[in-house]
Structure 1
Amino acid sequence: MARSAAVLRLIWQRLAVALPTLVLISMMVFGLQKLLPGDPIIALAGEERSPQAIEYLREKYRFNDPIALQYVHWVADIAQGDFGRSIRTRLPIGDMLAEKLPVTLELAVFSMLFAVVIGVPLGIVAALRRGSLIDFGASLFGLLGLSVPNFWLGIMLILLFSVHLGWLPAGGFVSPATSLLGNLKSLLLPSIVLGAHTAAILMRHTRGAMLVALKQDYVRTARAKGVKGSVIVLRHALPNALIPVVTLGTLQFGELLAGAVLTEQVFGIPGFGKMIVDGVFSRDYAVVQAVVLCTAAIFLLMSLLADVAYVLLNPRMRT
């Protein structure tokens, strides 16, 4: 009962902060796109444009209204689930988001799985073998994971596994409805590229949290009682060490969604990242606004889930 009350109280507190933050982000997104060079209406009118056609398009897309009024109309439409239409493709942006979001979500999930499977066990072993060659190798992996750019790592993996070995496709995306095996092959390399940075972060935090947990009094007491080392690690130290790692991983998942732009561009994956790049190059600012706003909303949601997870896992936070 106390846990449910603490969670509900936390949710209301975070929503009280998240909603104004989302409004501020929407204002920044809408205002900054007005500063971008070029006129999307001229691009939409085409080469054989006439003044009458340009004026008609400006009226149709409310470009003649004051900026404040344009923002109000834009927010009101979004509140009703209408993100407008793409100037380039004439398609509803909401349908485009519904088509591209599952692709980026799937890529983020696979990347997070790779990061957890590699980063967490490596951090645990590095903490248990502190000062050994394993610890040195784990620290080197963490340094490389944080330092190597995604686009360079992606190109190197393509050269190795696609060009020289021919094991995996160099790019593209296969829907799981078309071929489950093809879907796994198309996402393997980009998942490694996108998840390497997160794996390095999880490894470093897991190692640090485990080192702290192994120095606690309850661990020394368990050792004094003759409890096996594996039991001490798995039942006493690890559950407490993973509390901050779980909350960090939730936030990192939100960052994976926002950071997939370069990875999707390198591998030609038709997700949110490629959608926003195409929107910028074609001056389709309505698409750019929608993608950035949705990404910000997802990140705020993951931040809320991280706070809730921390309260659920750490009883001291409920008071």
Structure 2
Amino acid sequence: MIILRMLLGRVLSLVPLLLGVTLFVFVVMRFSPVDPAIAALGDSNPTEAQLDQFRSENGLLDPWPVQYGRFVWQLLHGDFGTSVITKQSVGATISTALPLTIQLTLMGLVIAVVFGLLFGVVSAIFRDRWPDQVIRIVSLAGVAAPAFWIALLLVQWLAVGQGLFPTSGYISPQDSFGGWLNSMTLPAIALAAPVAAQLTRIIRTSMVEELDKDYVRTARGGGLPPVVVVGRNVLRNALVNPLTVLGLRVGFLLGGAVVIETMFALPGMGQNMIQAVKDGDTAKVQGFVITIAAIFVLVNLVVDILYVIANPRLRSRS
């Protein structure tokens, strides 16, 4: 019942949230200095009459509330609209670009969770000793370093310097799994590094709090091996708080993918979105943003459900 109530509340709150996102993007795009008519017809040196005709045919001369209402109406019917620049369906463009962004986000998430969990546990176990000091310095540097700067260092060291990875480009896993892994490794590491550093700090703090509790001392005094105490009890209890933070970090990964995809010339949502902003393509920008926002909300809903499952005290209290 708790989970069903949470699902119902989040689904109901999803509608005004996504409408607010579309309204915000719509208003921001209206202040863009880029004229979609000029962006679409600029190569042919159009006259003012041709520009006005283009704006009239594509509804760009309609009042803002009419344009926004048209977009919302199409959205309610599962239609993201049509790009006024490329004349292609926005939904078709999203279906092509979204899989790559999801691949990059999931790969970055796995790397962040694995290294954050490993370094966080080691740092807590060796508290105030040299492994803890080294990991704390590295994690603080990772939190302070932006993903794009880490990407530049990785390209300089491993791609240009050592030639181990390509500097840009994308290979589909259907064409070559090895080539896909090679083309996605550096972008995923650059995207995951700040998140891994943050998770390391959070997991270390949660682990230290659990290790200082009475039940841990009792378990150790009873002769239980440290591996059993840490793995079965301490780690499980310590991961409740990092689990809630992980949902927010997924949003960071989705947002960071916009920059990382552009730097590595990956044809995902990020590169398409930046090009749409340059072109003043409102329909495409709104479609991309609302898709990312919906994914972010759904991921946080899943994380909240896992939090209820992992926290028996919350269930018993309710």
- Shorter-chain TM band: over 0.9
Q: Does 2:29 match 1:33?
A: yes
Structure 2 counterparts to residues 1-319 of structure 1, below 5 A: 5-46=1-42, 47-318=44-315, 319=318
Q: Report the Cα distance in structure 2 between the residues aligned to 1:295 and 1:202, rounded to whole angstroms.
A: 22
- Tell me, yes or no, if the aligned pair for 1:219 and 1:232 is still in contact at 8 Å: yes
One-letter amino acid matched to 1:160: W
Q: Report the Cα distance in structure 1 between the residues aligned to 2:146 and 2:251, rounded to whole angstroms.
A: 19
Q: 1:60-112: CA deviations, max 9, x gaps?
A: 22122211111110011122222222233222111110011000100011111
Give the superposed CA RMSD.
1.4
- Tell me, yes or no, if the aligned pair for 2:35 and 2:279 is still in contact at 8 Å: no
SS in 2 for 1:206: helix
SS in 2 for 1:130: coil
Q: Report the Cα distance in structure 2 between the residues aligned to 1:166 and 1:52, rounded to whole angstroms.
A: 53
Please, which runs of 5 or more residues in structure 2 have no aligned partner? Answer: none
CA offset at residue 215 of structure 1? 1.7
Q: 1:107-157: CA deviations, max 9, x gaps?
A: 011111111111111000100100011111111121111111222221221
Q: Report the Cα distance in structure 2 between the residues aligned to 1:20 and 1:85, rounded to whole angstroms.
A: 23
Q: 1:23-64: CA deviations, max 9, x gaps?
A: 111111111111111311232233432344323322222122
Please, which runs of 5 or more residues in structure 1 have no aligned partner? Answer: none
One-letter amino acid matched to 1:209: S
Q: Report the Cα distance in structure 1 between the residues aligned to 2:149 and 2:5, rounded to whole angstroms.
A: 45
Q: Report the Cα distance in structure 2 between the residues aligned to 1:79 and 1:139, rounded to whole angstroms.
A: 48
One-letter amino acid matched to 2:304: D
Normalised by the length of structure 1, the TM-score is: 0.94
- Tell me, yes or no, if the aligned pair for 1:29 and 1:293 is still in contact at 8 Å: no
One-letter amino acid matched to 2:301: L
SS in 2 for 1:178: coil
One-letter amino acid matched to 2:4: L
Q: Report the Cα distance in structure 1 between the residues aligned to 2:170 and 2:149, rounded to whole angstroms.
A: 20
Q: Report the Cα distance in structure 2 between the residues aligned to 1:14 and 1:208, rounded to whole angstroms.
A: 30
Q: 1:185-207: CA deviations, max 9, x gaps?
A: 00000111000011011101110
CA offset at residue 298 of structure 1? 1.2
Q: 1:224-280: CA deviations, max 9, x gaps?
A: 222111111011101111122223223322321122122111111111111111112
- Tell me, yes or no, if the aligned pair for 1:265 and 1:274 is still in contact at 8 Å: yes
Q: Report the Cα distance in structure 1 between the residues aligned to 2:156 and 2:28, rounded to whole angstroms.
A: 38
Q: 1:259-315: CA deviations, max 9, x gaps?
A: 212211111111111111111222223221211111111111112112111111112
SS in 1 for 2:168: coil
- Name whichever of 8-17 and 195-204 sits farther off: 8-17
SS in 1 for 2:239: helix
SS in 2 for 1:260: helix
Q: Report the Cα distance in structure 2 between the residues aligned to 1:87 and 1:105, rounded to whole angstroms.
A: 26
- Name whichever of 267-276 and 217-226 sits farther off: 217-226
Runs of 4+ that moved beyond 3 A: none
- Name whichever of 48-57 and 254-263 sits farther off: 48-57
- Name whichever of 240-249 and 28-37 sits farther off: 240-249
Equivalent residue pairs, number: 315
